Amino acid sequence: MQPLLQFTRRVIGPAVFFALAALLSAAEPERLTFCSYNLKNWLTMERAVRQPPSSKPEKERAQVVKMLTDIHPDILGVCEIGTADDLAELQQRLQVAGVDLPYTELAHGGDPVRRLALLSRLPIKTRNSQTTLKYQIGAQTLPFQRGILDVTIAITPTFDLHLLGVHLKSMRTVSEADQAEMRRNEARLLRLHMDSVFAQEPGACILAYGDFNAQRNDPAVAEIMGGPRTGDTTVLDVLLRDVNGEVWTHFWDAADSYSRLDYCFTSRLLRPHIDTRQSGIHADKDFYKASDHRPLVIKISAEPILK
Q: Which of 9, 80, 98, 91 is nearest to 40 (CA)?
A: 80
Helix, strand and coil in the chain, % to nearest 5: 30, 30, 35
The residues near 110 (Cβ < 8 Å, ≥ 6 apart) are 142, 143, 144, 145, 147
Residues of the chain above pLDDT 70, percent: 87
Cβ count within 10 A of residue 258: 12
User: Mean pLDDT lowest for which of 47-56, 104-113, 127-136, 153-162?
Assistant: 47-56
Domain boundaries, the chain: 29-301
The residues near 193 (Cβ < 8 Å, ≥ 6 apart) are 130, 133, 148, 150, 164
The residues near 204 (Cβ < 8 Å, ≥ 6 apart) are 160, 162, 197, 198, 267, 269
Cβ–Cβ < 8 Å for 193, 130 = yes
Say which CATH topology domain 29-301 has.
Deoxyribonuclease I; Chain A (3.60.10)
**144-181: b (≥16 Cβ within 10 Å) or e:** bbbbbbbbbbebeeeebbbbbbbbbbebeeeeeeebbb
Instruction: Give yes or no for residue 223 having a pLDDT over 60.
Output: yes
Q: Quote the pLDDT of residue 30.
A: 80
Distance CA 289, CA 189 (A): 34
Q: Where are the alpha helices (DSSP H) in 129-175?
A: none
Residues of the chain above pLDDT 90, percent: 79
Cβ count within 10 A of residue 183: 23
* φ, ψ of residue 66 in degrees (nearest 5): -60, -45
Distance CA 300, CA 34 (A): 7
Q: What pLDDT, in 10s, does the model give residues 135-157?
A: 999 999 999 999 999 999 999 99
Q: Quote the pLDDT of residue 234.
A: 92
Q: What is the mean pLDDT of residues 51-64?
A: 95
What is this structure's pTM? Answer: 0.89
Confidence band for 227, pLDDT divided at 50, 70 and 90: confident
Q: Quote the pLDDT of residue 291.
A: 98
Cβ–Cβ < 8 Å for 37, 296 = yes
